[in-house]
Structure formats: structure tokens, C-alpha cells
Structure 1
Amino acid sequence: MRNQLKTIVLIVSLGILLDGCRTVRPSLPAPGTPSSALNRTDNLALGNPSGASTNDPNNYMITRPQYILSYNQSRSTANWVSWHLSPAWKGDARRTNDFRPDPTLPTGWYAVRPSDYTNTGFDRGHLCPSDDRDATSQDNAATFLLTNIVPQAPRNNREVWKYLEEYERQLMTGGNEVYIIAGVSGTGGTGQNGYATALAAGKLVVPATLWKILVVVPAGSENTFQITANTRIIAINIPNNQSAADKPWRAYLTSVDELETLTGYDFLSNVPIDIQRIIEKRIDGGNS
């Protein structure tokens, strides 16, 4: 009997290990969760790429229902923002355009103001887009907190970056859910008024590039997903200048491995290593 029990335990344990090599699952909603809230988790399902916490002012985690970000006090922008896009986040709430300082920043930290962008030649560019969060006015307003905003060259923001944002929503309406991480790298961009390294008397750093990773998974009825060696990964790195818009976003395709080298982050850290090795080196083939 004891040997039979050991065999059962071994089989169950082996099954769990094998499943872990194939599947990554975000936390499920609690029993009784309203249907309107289903598929609204998990904004950090793929892992915390920089190990953000509330202990490091330049890697400071801010958690909201709508997204999670790592904030950099020395730059006055996010390092990265992570969110989950599904139909549960979509609705008919109007764009609030309520750009405002983030009241959750620790006391004594500089909080960027809308006026810091005035006449600078740079747009207030969203990392988590307004149109990804329009189920409610509250959801939409959260995207206008200035910790989710970076100085972005106007044509970059309104053309090539915008078209990439629209494509991620096309993926969603095509029967997928998309797990997204977007962020910035480097210092110095070229806006409508020319090159600049910082705004707001040096407090607000202008990034050199904006990058994004899209993980595309089939929509699941139980708010679960699988990541396999065949999962589609789209990685993009776009220079923060006006001429970036002269090319389509696909001209800026790269690999997750290259973005890890650029940023020093560990993306997709919740994915088993054997699968990471395959999908992180792949450059997307442009499947529709």
C-alpha cells in the first residue's frame, strides 16, 4: 500500500512538473466575481521584468486595477507599464483627456504636471493606451495619470505608435487576448522643436526609444491561457523622433532577447525557461 501511495504521489508530481513546462496561468477571479470583471486579470501575469517593488525609488512599483508600472523617480517617467487587453476592458466610455499628476507618488517626489509639456514640441504619450481602457470612465481616467505618460515625438505618437496600438486591439477583436509590456529606454529624443534630453527644468527625461512586447494568446472562457513554443510574440523598439513615422511599425520589429539586452530586464520571467529560450529569440513574421 505504501509503495502504491508513493507511485501515485510521483505520478501527480510529474504531471504538475510537465504542466509547468507548457502552461502559464494568471490568477483566477474569486468565486462570485461579477461577469463584468472576468478576464480583467492579471496585468502582471508574465512576470515583473525589473523586480520592481516599493523599496527602490527608481524601480518603484505602482499597482492599479487598470495596469501595473515601474516608476523611475530620477526620470519622472515609468520604466515600463504592464497590462492585459481583453474584451472585458472595452466599452463606450468617452476619452477623458484628464492629464493630471499622480497623487499616489510618495511625499517629496516631483509629480509631473500637464504644463511641463506645454510648448515643448513633445506629446504626452501614453504607455497603456486610453483606448485599451474604455469600459468605464474610471478605467479611462487612470490612463491619463502622468506616471503612465512619457514625452513622445508627435509623429511617433500619432502615427507609427498609434497604428501599433490599433493593431493590438485588432488582435483582440480577432479572438485573442493580448498581454502587453511597454516602456522606454535611453535619453534624448527629437520632437517638433528639435532634440531634447529633458523637460521641466531637467526633471522629466525624454526617452531615446519606446519599446513594446505583445504576447498573443487565444481567448479563454475560464480566464486562462497557455504559452507554448508556438505562441506569437511581437517585440518592437521605435526611435523617439519625428522621422520614425516614415516607416510602418513592422519596420521596427526586434526580439525579446534584444530588448532584454537593451534594458537589462528579464521579460516573460513567469514562462518556463525552455519556452523562453525559443520564443524570446524569435522576430515576429508579421502574421495577420
Structure 2
Amino acid sequence: MIKRLFFVLAVMLLFLGSCRKDFSNIQVKQDQSVLFTSKITGQVQTRMSGTQWDDQDSISIFMYQGQSLTAGNVVPSGFNKQFITQRNGNFSPKTSADALDFPKDKQVKFVAFYPFQRRSDLQRELNISNQQIQAPIDYMIGHSANSMGYQQGPVQLNFERLMAKIQVRVKGSGINAVTAKISPLQTEAVFQIDQSQLIPRQVFKEVEGKVLSAGQETVIEWVIFPGRLSDQSKMVFISNKGDSYTWEIGKLAIDYVRGNRYQYSINLTDDGTVDPNPSVSYMELPIISNSADLEYNFKMTPDRSKRNFSMLYDKKNRIAHWVAYPLSGDYLGGQSRTDNWAYDPNFSSFNQPLLSRGFGIGGIDRGHQIPSADRTKNYAENSTTFYYTNMTAQTSSLNQGVWARLENQIRSWTRNSGVDTMYVVTGAGIRDGNAPIEYVKDNGNKDVAKPKYYYKALAVKRGKEYYTIGFFMENKVTPASAHFNSYRMTVAELEKRTGHRFFPGLPEGTKSMINNAIWR
């Protein structure tokens, strides 16, 4: 009996030891294997965004050593491997032949390209002549943020879109469905992965747009190469009645920027003309930059009844580069300041300044980018203006003087007869030429970038025309007698000063002049 018991115990120990050894081997293999998480930066588009992809989307992976990818520094086992995702943005090898292992003694980086193409070089052929299945032409390039080595976990890939998008929402009296074509449209290009360079080919075709929905309002869109359309480009609509309508979209002379979507509301009139109204997702949105440290965030009002404001937030420097929002009677009421200072629930508190006691520096205020007085409809909406992500280190004399008077004037312009909505972009610039970024400390002793200047870009529609104006002020002690008209400039000039592109759906001519009858 005792011998049998010892035999059973010996077998159990042998089995457990074998299991422990197998688990150890599996763990080592997992630590060596390369897996990826991902994030798509820039503006939200229609197919996928953030960490959301389509099921079985696949990417090309290149593993390399050094500062940048070249044909000579690709790790031999890491050339053009195919990785796939199940919608969640986590990528794993499609087959065992695509699996990658971290080199044990080397630091490596990664470049990815979407969609996967089985090629033996670093060049990709791009062709957008067929818009009916858009997933294959939603071209993107991805980069790992840092060099990584053995046993350091999944690799974060930050993807940027290479293409722009035009979307039109079409209505017309008695019209139930519409198709549309752009002609001529550039349809081919080459993308050099190692140089991250897109080289268009001089191939132009008539291209039918993808109809997303049809009915009393038809939604149609095109994926396009960045840059300007041909001056001769026209968008031709064909209604369900067979009637034809032409919009000379090329004459807008707009520089379409990659990663951004341009929306237009189109009214097909009874006299056979096209009445386009740019909306560009939301009219107030500037072009959204792509960066691992910058995060675009869109907020609805707390009751989800309407849009509130958007921001491009710099998580590294703990400041919003700009806050864009609509202003109208729907947002204005009798609510007083809530002073409900709080962390923004859409960002990690680590990436936000703690400012419950202000900056603690004489002459420096917690300056709102979207003013408290622009959200006075109710307590909940006003509270959102007190998120720390909306705060900046603003010189007190500026914040409480000419800047406050400008904000009051903007509300006054909004209340003028004939104004439905004022579109506002407020920004804080932390770089000016080669001067280093200045920092102040928050209540937790974390660095927060101090703006070198502030600006506002405004657009309003009166009748069928849009009108714009810009303001630019340095973040310094400002005379109490200063008047905001001393700081005004065209939006085109403001774009040159700040490097941002405002109201991208508007023609350059609209942004290059100030109508004094509107902005008086």
C-alpha cells in the first residue's frame, strides 16, 4: 500500500514538473513574440477610427534597426509580414510564417502599411478609381513610438491616414435618390514607405462616388488624394428623374489635407443649379493634426442634445492647442458661473493639469479657452467649461481685460439679427519660432506649457455668404485701455501666424478679407 502511494506521488510530481516546464516555455515564447496594439490619429472618419477597425483588416509590418526605415536596415525576418485584427485594433500574425520574434540583443522599431500588399519592395501602388468598396483605398501608414526590445510587451502603432475625404449630403425638391461623379479626378499614386512620401501620377478619370444612403437626403463620398482638385474638376449629380446638375467644385481651390473629411450640404434647386453649403464635419473644426501626443476629442452636451465643443489636446504639455465650438441662442441662458473645477473625464488625470487652486503665480489666471459665459443654458453645460483641459496659464491683465471684451463682443455679434450660428476657434500657441516652450507648475508640481500667444478665428453665415475674421494677442501684460480691434487680422493671416488651417471648407478668398459691415 505504501509503495503504491509513493508511486502515485512520484507520477504526480513528474506530471506537475512537466506542466511547469511547458508553461515556462510558452511564457518565454509569448515574451519573444511581437504583437501590436494600434491607434488611428486625426479626425474621425466614416469607416474606422481610434482603435476600431473592420474585422480581418490586415497590415504590412516591417521590423528594422536604426532611426528610420531603409531597405538596408530591415531585420531579414521582419520584411512585409501580414498581421490581422478582429476589429479591436490588436494585431496578430495571419499565419505562423508571418510571426515575428524580438531579437534578444537588439532594439528595433516598426513601420506598418494598410492595407497589406504582398510585394518585395518598399513601394505601394495606390489606385482610387473604384470607390464602391472603400476599405482597400483607406490607405494608412503606421509607426511605433519607441525602440523596443526583448520581453517589452505589445508594440503601440500610431496610424495616420494618407488620404482625404469629400462627403456630400444632397437634397432637392421631389428628389428621392442621387448619384454623382467627379471629373477629372486624379486616381493613381505611388507611396514610398521608407520615405513616407506620396507621389501622384498624372492619371485622371471620371469617378463615381460611393452612395452611403439614399432617400430624401442622399449621402455620397469620395476618398481622394491630398492637395487641390484640378481647376476643371466638376461634380455632376444625376437625380432619380434623370435630371443633371453640375457643381464646379475645382474652382473652390481648396487644399484638401490628408486625414480630414470635408462635408458639404448640397441643395439641387428647381432652376437646375447647385447650392453648396460647406459643413466640413462641423463648420468650426480646423484641420486636425496627426501626432502621438495630440488627441482630438469631441464632446456632446451632457444631455446629448447637441454638440458642445471639440479640442486638440496635447497630453505631453497638458494644454489644448485649440478649442472649437458653435455659439448660438441654443447655448446661452441665465446660468451663472458654476466654478465646478474638475478633471476632464475624457482624458487620464495624469495628462491633465491639477488646477483646483489655480496656478499659484501672481498675475497668472486659469484662462478658459471656451468661456464660461458661452455655455450658460444650464448648470451641466457650464460645468464642462471648467474642465482642466480647457484651462491655460493666461496673463491676468489680458484675461480680464481686452480678451474678456473680445469674448463679450463675440456674443454680441452672435445675437445680431440674421445670425443663426457663430463658429469659434480659440487657440493657445506654445511655440513661436525657435524659442523654447515655457512651463509653469500645477498644484501637483507637474509641468504645464505656458502659451506665448492666444487667438480666435470666427466665421458666420449671413444670407448665402460666409464672413470671417481673426484675432491674435501675445500672452503678456496688456494695457487696460487696449481695444480688440487693434489685434484683428484676416483668417488667412492668422493661419500663417499659427500654422493651423481654419474653416477648411471655405474658399481662400473668404478667409482673405474682413467685411467691416459684418464685424463692426
| TM-score under structure 1 length normalisation | 0.75
Q: Which of 277, 282, 286 is equivalent to 1:48?
A: 286
Shift of residue 106 of structure 1? 3.4
1:242 equivalent in structure 2: 477
- Any conservation in 1 of the 2:358–2:366 contact (CA below 8 Å)? no
Pick the structure with more strand per residue: 2
Contact 1:235–1:284 (8 Å) recurs in 2: no
Task: Report deviation, 1:180.
Answer: 0.4
The residue type equivalent to 2:332 in the other structure is: K
Q: Extract unaligned runs of 5+ from structure 2.
A: 1-179, 181-235, 252-265, 268-273, 301-307
Counterpart contact for 1:253–1:283, Cα < 8 Å: no
The residue aligned with 2:414 is 172
Equivalent residues of 2:334, 2:376 under 8 A apart: yes
- The residue type paired with residue 401 of structure 2 is E
TM-score (norm. length: structure 2): 0.43
- Check the 8 A contact 1:61/1:68 in 2, yes or no: yes
| Range with bigger deviation, 119-128 or 7-16 | 7-16
Within a 5 Å distance, the mapping from 1:1-288 to structure 2 comes to 9=238, 12-14=244-246, 23-26=276-279, 44-51=282-289, 56-65=291-300, 66-106=308-348, 108-115=350-357, 117-175=359-417, 176=419, 177-187=421-431, 197-200=438-441, 201=445, 203-218=447-462, 226=464, 228=465, 231-243=466-478, 245-271=480-506, 275=507, 277-283=508-514, 285=516, 287-288=519-520
Find the aligned partners of 2:284 and 2:244 in 1 and give their Cα distance.
25
Instruction: Check the 8 A contact 1:57/1:73 in 2, yes or no.
Output: no
Aligned partners of 1:102 and 1:169: how far apart in 2?
25
- Equivalent pair of 2:323/2:426 in contact (CA under 8 Å): yes
Cα deviation, residue 59, structure 1: 2.2
Per mean C-alpha deviation after superposition, the further-off stretch among 242-251 and 86-95 is 242-251
**DSSP-derived class of the 2:470 partner:** strand
Larger radius of gyration between Structure 1 and Structure 2:
2
Q: Distance in 2 between matches of 1:116 and 1:187?
A: 23
Distance (Å, rounded) in 2 between the aligned partners of 1:110 and 1:88: 29
**1:77 offset after TM fit, Å?**
0.8
Whole-angstrom distance in 1 between the partners of 2:276 and 2:451:
35
Superimposed CA distance per residue, residues 25-51 of structure 1 (whole angstroms, 9 cap, x where no aligned partner): 549xxxxxxxxxxxxxx8x32433234
Query: Which structure shows the bigger proportion of residues in helix conformation?
Result: 1
- Greater relative contact order (Cα < 8 A, sep 6+): 1
| Counterparts of 1:168 and 1:67, CA distance in 2 | 16
Say what the alpha-carbon RMSD is for the aligned residues. Answer: 3.1
The number of equivalent residue pairs is 246
Q: Partners of 1:26 and 1:131 in 2: how far apart? A: 25
Please say if residues 238 and 244 of structure 1, whose CA atoms lie closer than 8 Å, have aligned partners that are also in contact.
no
Amino acid at match of 1:59: L
Separation (CA, whole Å) in 2 of partners of 1:8 and 1:187: 45
**1:112 deviation in Å?**
3.2
Residues 57, 72 of structure 1: 8 Å contact kept: no
* CA distance in structure 1 between the partners assigned to 2:346 and 2:237 by the alignment: 50
State the shift of 1:116 in Å.
5.2
Deviation at 1:187, TM superposition (A): 4.8
Amino acid at match of 1:125: G
SS of 1:213's equivalent in the other structure is strand
- Gapped regions of structure 1 (runs ≥ 5): 1-5, 28-41, 189-195, 219-224
CA deviation string 1:141-174 (max 9, x = no partner): 0001011111111111111011111111111211
Query: CA distance change for structure 1 residues 142 and 8 in 2, over 3 Å: closer, same or farther?
Result: closer
Alpha-carbon contact 2:440-2:450 (below 8 Å) kept? yes
Cα deviation for residue 233 of structure 1 reads 1.1
The 2-side partners of 1:166 and 1:159 are apart by 11
Which range is displaced more, 238-247 or 153-162? 238-247
| Secondary structure, aligned partner of 1:243 | coil
* C-alpha contact (below 8 Å) 2:313/2:389 kept by paired residues: yes
